[in-house]
A and B are shown apart, each in its own frame.
Chain A
Amino acid sequence: EIVLTQSPGTLSLSPGERATLSCRASQTVNNRYLAWYVQKPGQAPRLLIYGASSRATGIPDRFSGSGSGTDFTLTISRLEPEDFALFYCQQYGSSPRSFGQGTKLEI
């Protein structure tokens, strides 16, 4: 099973700043099969990025994903107030699908 470790656990920033979230895998993620989600309290997760760098439908271009192998990054170029939430990475290159433990982005 691939274990995903996200860092930092909590990231404290202000609106307008740039956020960089990391996701490190215990083994190579095949074909860059890595996704990012955002989750707000009481809501289901929302897909942001798939294939490591492809934005999902309706996701603004301030969100970008990069990386390959075992190291992946989600960057939010200029934080908006609605971006403060919980972010998860997830790999689907091998079974079982697995998630990171999450990064909380707080003001």
Chain B
Amino acid sequence: EVQLVESGGGLVQPGGSLRLSCVGSGFTFSSYWMSWVRQAPGKGLEWVANIKDDGSDKNYLDSVKGRFTISRDNAKNSLYLQMNSLRAEDTAVYYCARRGDYWAFWGQGTLVTVSS
């Protein structure tokens, strides 16, 4: 059974940093592009970033370029999102999802709240 489990969310002040993690199991993690998708409270879905199976290609939403960094450690079946210079508008549930284009498998999400 495919499972994705996120962690690392929490309350952070504007301008602060946070690192999200996602551990995958039940599939060959190193064979898949992976993505982060977020959802602000009461709002719709927004793709944030994706990364190629070997980590050699990365893509970002314009509004997070230069602030967020997606990475992975295939030996640990893990996906990461380093978030710096956080803004109030980054407040959302962050989901990791398998594949880089459309997503059949999602984690349960981790809530990031940016507030003073």
A interface residues with partner B (beta carbon < 8 Å): 33, 35, 37, 39, 44-47, 50, 56-57, 88, 90, 92, 95-102
How many A-B contacts if CB must be within 8 Å? Answer: 46
Question: Shortest CB–CB separation between residue B38 and chain A, in angstroms?
Answer: 11
Number of B residues, CB within 8 Å of A? 18
Q: Given A96-B47, A97-B101, do A44 and B59 touch, yes or no (CB 8 Å)?
A: no
Question: Shortest CB–CB separation between residue B96 and chain A, in angstroms?
Answer: 10
Measured between beta carbons, the chain A residues less than 8 angstroms from B59 are: 95-96
Where chain A touches its partner, the secondary structure class is loop
The reply to whether the CB of B45 lies closer than 8 angstroms to some CB of chain A is yes
State the CA gap A50–B99 with chains docked (Å).
13
Sample (14) of A-B pairs whose CB atoms are under 8 Å apart: A33-B101, A35-B103, A44-B95, A44-B106, A44-B109, A47-B102, A50-B102, A50-B104, A56-B104, A88-B45, A96-B47, A96-B62, A97-B35, A102-B44
